[in-house]
Amino acid sequence: MGRRRVFLTGATGFIGGHVLRALLAAGYEVRALARDREAASRIAGAEVTLGDVRHPGALVRSMAGCDDLVHCAALYSFAPRDRAALRAVNVDGTAGLLAAARLAGIERAVVTSSAGTVAPARGGRLPDERDGAPDQARSAYHHSKHEQERAALAARVPVVLVLPTSTVGPGDWKPTPTGQMILDFARGRIFAAPPGGGLNVVAVEDVARAHVRALERGHPRTRYLVGGENLTLDQVWRLLADVTGRRAPRWRIPYPAAVCAGSADELRCRLWPRARPRVPLEGVRMSAQMMHVDCTRARVDLGLEPGPVRDALVRAVSWYREHGYLSVRGVPAAG
């Protein structure tokens, strides 16, 4: 019996690029989807086919001959201009892709969701996959991921859902909002801490391995939270201070002031649609929540053993420096 062939979307993205390497390391053949030739040129080690998840009917032929699907492609944005596109890519694109996968004979699929679809921690109990976030608590992005999960679980292909927490490590080139936070800190642009709250942080390499394990061991129509360490935001700043040599912020922004700043930034982005959010209002609201989670299911079913978050932050900062995002003079060597 030959090696199984996986059809992979999102191979040029942060998580998807690491998933590609993890699949290849595990012995899979990979056929990767790229939107255009420029994106295709950034994919190494896989067969490449051109296409777009927003036009899934054209992908049936592209998926022919593949055994499995790993769907990492998504739009991750807090920009007001992207809110309509969030549904087109994350929800409708996923539903259409899984319908095409069934027609192509795909036997099993893994879909990347988000831990943001799980409720924040309250009352001393860590939430797990049974705890869905109330609709009013979700950002537009996380609402789209919730709707994506519904579409995936309704598909007629066996689907396993992977829900990464805040993911860090090398290769976050766009960057994601979490990567931008690391860059802003390393560049000395975070002068005050958000109101409070916390998050779970995980290394991107662990997230990638979890996708392979989900493909091999995950139970169909099951959600798996994939996380590393539950940290307060103050602990995150201290880790970043240790890694970058920058000083952790000494004073805290009152929540009402942070909301005012986020609202002003939202207005700026609405008036100038090409602008990127600097203080995303959705991010401000989330920063006051304790986004800690219980990843027992992934540890038991997938054998998830995440590595230290500090090491992942070292790899992230080193990658940014090596690729010109940070000046060597301005940021001390990580380690």
pLDDT, tens digit, 9 for 90 and up, residues 58-78: 999 999 999 999 999 999 888
Share of the chain above pLDDT 90, in %: 72
pLDDT bin (cut points 50, 70, 90) of residue 333 is very low
For 197-230, how does the pLDDT look when each residue is reduced to its tens digit (9 = 90+)? Answer: 899 999 999 999 999 999 999 999 999 999 999 9
Residue 194 token pair: 């958000």
Q: What is the mean pLDDT of the chain?
A: 91
Residue 49 lies in a domain: yes
pLDDT of residue 245: 94
pLDDT bin (cut points 50, 70, 90) of residue 331 is very low
Neighbour tally for 14: CB within 10 Å: 24
pLDDT of residue 138: 58
Number of structural domains in the chain: 1
Evaluate if residue 86 carries a pLDDT over 90.
Answer: yes
CB crowding 239-258: b at 16 or more within 10 Å, else e: bbeebbebebbeeebebeeb
Residue 136 lies in a domain: yes
Residue 236 lies in a domain: no
pLDDT bin (cut points 50, 70, 90) of residue 334 is very low
**How far apart (Å, rounded) are the C-alpha atoms in residues 323 and 298?**
33
Residue 240 lies in a domain: no
pLDDT of residue 150: 95
More confident residue, 103 or 335: 103
Residue 241 lies in a domain: no
What residues make up the domain containing 208?
5-165+203-227+293-307
Q: Contact, 62 vs 7, CB < 8 A?
A: yes
Residue 109 lies in a domain: yes
Residue 287 lies in a domain: no
Residue 99 token pair: 């319908």
pLDDT of residue 135: 62
**How far apart (Å, rounded) are the C-alpha atoms in residues 198 and 292?**
7
**CATH assignment of the domain containing 84:** 3.40.50.720
Evaluate if residue 23 carries a pLDDT over 50.
Answer: yes
Residue 172 lies in a domain: no
